[in-house]
Structure 1
Amino acid sequence: MSLPLLPTTVVGSFPVPEWMERLKTDYSRGRVSGAQLADVHDMAIKAALRDQELAGIDIVSDGELRRDNDVDYFLARLPGIEVRRATKDFYFDYHDLAVTAPLPPATGDELAWLADDFAFTAAQTTAPIKFSFTGPYSLARRLRNQAYADQRALVLDLAHRLNGAAHALAARGATLLQIDEPFLAGYPGDVTVAVEGVNAVTAGVDVSWALHVCYGNRYARPSWEGHYDFLFPAVLDARVDQLVLEFARKGYEDLPVIEKFGWDRTVGLGVLDVKSQEVETAETVAKRIRAALDLVPAEQLVINPDCGLRNLSGAVARAKLAAMVEGTAQVRRTLRPLPEPIVQGA
């Protein structure tokens, strides 16, 4: 894909309008049909793509608008997973999910609907697309494990199913896939297991891979606090091309850690605090990018919000993205090579 220096993107999710929240909740309570909800999702994804295009985002996403949350969309329909309560009071709530026997052998098509999701999005835009899904470690953390002797075995079994989905996504034209591990920051001692799971997901899938690790974004609040040094050196073994990290809310003191351990791939630089309704100025975004450029070359930076935009209002999200694009443009202009001097008489 042809991209400018300091390409802009989103992490994944997009705001869910209140009217859509009501419809999704009605569906979770059994009051709206799946066909009706699918039509709503199609319309909302088209609108989210248009918002991103109007803002000038270089790499867009579907806004994850078909998903009720970051776990149930992947696990609740997976063969071998027990859903102990079929309905939910609010669409964003988590199901009570359990695995009471080892999952059946992976066939590669357990998560086939993800490729359909991507294909719909690709038909609506000519922009490059990032397609994200929750990683095996975080999915395992939301399951009542009553079947596996240890967490690692469950993580790897889920990873094999996600690998099948990744193959299907690549076959439908996906070129940039992102694994989200929002629970990893809460269990930093498990980073080696999480990286092993990531590598099982990416194995044999020839696309660009990103790994997003944040401190949680449930209801616009962090679930944990800490520093990204826990990722190293284990994450250096992750077969991914990019680390997408949260910085705007926390500050940029973790950036030297990335330099210290020799991360030589791309960094997705969080420059928008998605847990705040305050809209950053373009100048603030530019300042944050310039601070990162002191440690990371421009060629290794991708510019994005800290995390998904789900918990922001549509107006605030659009304003933040516009500021991000303009702030990035300000920095790009300063990085352009100077024109060659004109030599008289040459």
Structure 2
Amino acid sequence: MSAPRILTTLVGSYPIPSWLVANPGEQALKDATAVVLHLQELAGIDLVVDGELYRFDPNHPETNGMIEYFVRQMGGIRSDIRRADIDLFRSQAHLGFRKRPAAVVEGPVGEGTLNLVEAYERVAALSMRPIKFTMTSPYMLARMLLDTHYRDQSALTFALADVLAAQVRAIDAACVQVDEANLPGRPEDAELAAEAINRILDAVPNKPAVHLCFGNYGGQRIQAGSWARLVKFFDLLRADHVVLELARPGYGDLEVLRDINPKLKLGVGVIDIKTTVVEKPDEVAHRIQTAADILGGAERIAYVHPDCGFWMVARSIADAKIHALVAGRDLFEGKPASERSQFAEVPA
């Protein structure tokens, strides 16, 4: 049986098991992570993720720690938010959807107690498959903070990038992915974001990747924008591949990426995580074919995946979509029916 040319992966997050929320603990977290990894293995996912459970906070199980997990452990950053902080943050009016800062920068940003290496090693011990480790972009982190120290967006962004890059050097994952959901709404910051993210990508021992989407909160799109407005950003990136939200917005915008840096491979979103309707394998295969046709061939496509993380989707739906992803990829590549992933219907 030949290996697939286009690989499957998830973006990062997975719905937190209810039993972990009800009975949190170190062993329960380890068990939950093992479950998330194993269900991907059973489905046939090529590059697995831990569901971002390494960021699980039993005090705030409703979040996936995309911002707070990182910044609240760093040195120079205060996590208790005062009324004056909120007023000052709101007066800056740069984030309409966020009413309070994630934390306050009061001094030089340092590593503090953040230990991504240990977090990765705990995950790596639970699977024999190639693992992707995800982290939030320094540009996105900086945008969520109230900065009373640097008072300069670029300086803060680069300081955060350097802290993350120093840790990434010791993470031997098959792939390290930097997640950026803010830049698509602010393409004018392409150079700043690219320079900061590249500091991390350059430190990745194996494959560096960048995920971009238009936001995913409450199943809603947060940012307005298009991939056409980010061509400059793509050309500046020193990544192996980008992981893009495409199933929900559609593939018409993909044509602008035909002429970007040819060394940058593409990850194509073929599973819409903002709907509870589970795709059929032939629908997934059709989406891959559509993207390939627009790009002038499938050679540029390195991965297919969901548009974004599954953390706000019911587990039964997420699991069925994962199976549909693999089955659709197999169908596109002409894999015999007897060898394809078994598609799991959502229970009625």
| Pairwise TM-score range, normalised by the shorter structure | 0.7 to 0.9
Change beyond 3 A, Cα 1:284–1:157: same
The yes-or-no answer on 1:42 pairing with 2:30 is yes
**1:131-150 paired onto structure 2 within 5 Å:** 131-150=133-152
State the alpha-carbon separation in 1 of the partners of residues 229 and 5 from structure 2: 29
CA distance in 2, matches of 1:334, 1:4: 9
**Aligned counterpart, 1:160:** 162
For 1:40, give the aligned amino acid.
Answer: A
Deviations 1:110-162 (A, max 9, x none): 46521112112211111111111001000001100111232111000000001
Contact 1:178 1:211 in 2 (8 A): yes
Deviation of the 1:192 alpha carbon: 1.1
Q: Which amino acid aligns with 1:218?
A: Y
Superposed CA offset, 1:246-288 (max 9, x none): 0000100111010033444211100001111110010110000
Q: Give the conservation status (yes or no) of the 8 Å contact 1:72–1:95.
A: no
User: Residue 202 and residue 168 in structure 1: after superposition, are their counterparts in 2 closer, same or farther (change >3 A)?
Assistant: same
Q: Hey, what does 1:151 align to over in structure 2?
A: 153
Q: 1:132 to 1:320 in 2, by over 3 A?
A: same
In the other structure, the counterpart of 1:28 is none
- For 2:325 and 2:203, locate their aligned partners in 1 and report how far apart those are by CA, in whole Å: 34
**Using the alignment, how far apart are the partners of 1:73 and 1:3 within structure 2?**
37
| 5+ residue gaps, structure 2 | 56-63, 83-98, 337-348
Identity of aligned residues (%): 36
Return the offset for 1:334: 7.3
Superposed displacement of residue 85, structure 1: 4.5
In 1, Cα distance between equivalents of 2:305 and 2:180: 17
Task: Give the Cα separation in 1 of the matches to 2:21 and 2:200.
Answer: 31
Structure 1 distance, partners of 2:173, 2:100, is: 28
Instruction: Determine helix, strand or coil for the equivalent of 1:102.
Output: strand
Q: What one-letter code is carried by the residue in structure 1 that aligns with 2:215? A: G
CA distance in structure 1 between the aligned counterparts of 2:28 and 2:100, rounded to whole angstroms: 21
2:320 counterpart letter in structure 1: A
Label 1:186 to 1:226 Cα distance change in 2 as closer, same or farther (>3 A): closer
Asked if 1 retains the 8 angstrom alpha-carbon contact of 2:137 and 2:180, the reply is yes
Rounded to whole Å, the distance in 2 between the matches of 1:156 and 1:116 is 23
Structure 1 Cα separation of the partners of residues 137 and 113 of structure 2 = 13
TM-score by length of 2: 0.83
Give the CA deviation at 1:94: 8.1
1:256-335 alignment, distance < 5 Å: 256-294=255-293, 295=295, 297-301=297-301, 302-333=303-334
1:101 corresponds to 2:89 = no
State the partner residue of 2:343: none
Please, which of 66, 75, 97 is the counterpart of residue 70 of structure 1? 66
Aligned letter for 2:167?
A
Higher-strand-fraction structure: 2
> In the alignment, is the contact (CA less than 8 A) between 1:112 and 1:168 conserved in 2?
no
Answer yes or no: is the 8 Å Cα contact 2:234–2:261 preserved in 1: no
1:77-88 maps to which residues of 2 (within 5 A)? Answer: 77-85=73-81
Alignment-derived partner of residue 6 in structure 2: 6
Structure 1 counterpart of 2:225, one-letter code: G
Q: Cα RMSD between the aligned structures?
A: 2.2
Give distance in 2, aligned partners of 1:49 and 1:334. 24
- The CA distance in 2 between the partners of 1:261 and 1:207, in whole Å, is 22
Change (3 A) 1:265 1:111: farther
In 1, distance between residues paired with 2:202 and 2:326? Answer: 33
Contact 2:70 2:114 in 1 (8 A): no
Assess, with a 3 A threshold, how the Cα gap between structure 1 residues 263 and 132 changes in structure 2: closer, same or farther.
same
1:3 and 1:58 in contact (8 A); partners too:
no
Shift of 1:321: 0.8
The letter of the residue matching 2:15 is P
Question: Are the equivalent residues in 2 in contact too, given 1:209–1:242 (CA < 8 A)?
Answer: yes
Alignment equivalent of 1:59, drawn from 47, 50, 58: 47
TM-score (norm: length of structure 1) = 0.84
Q: How far did 1:62 drift?
A: 0.6
Distance verdict in 2 for CA 1:54–1:288, change over 3 Å: same
In structure 2, the CA distance between the partners of 1:66 and 1:174, relative to structure 1 (3 Å rule), is closer
Alignment partners' CA distance in 1, 2:240 and 2:218: 29
**CA deviation digits over 1:211-232, x for unaligned, max 9?**
1110001122111222111211
Partner letter of residue 61 of structure 1?
V
CA distance in 2, matches of 1:161, 1:174: 18
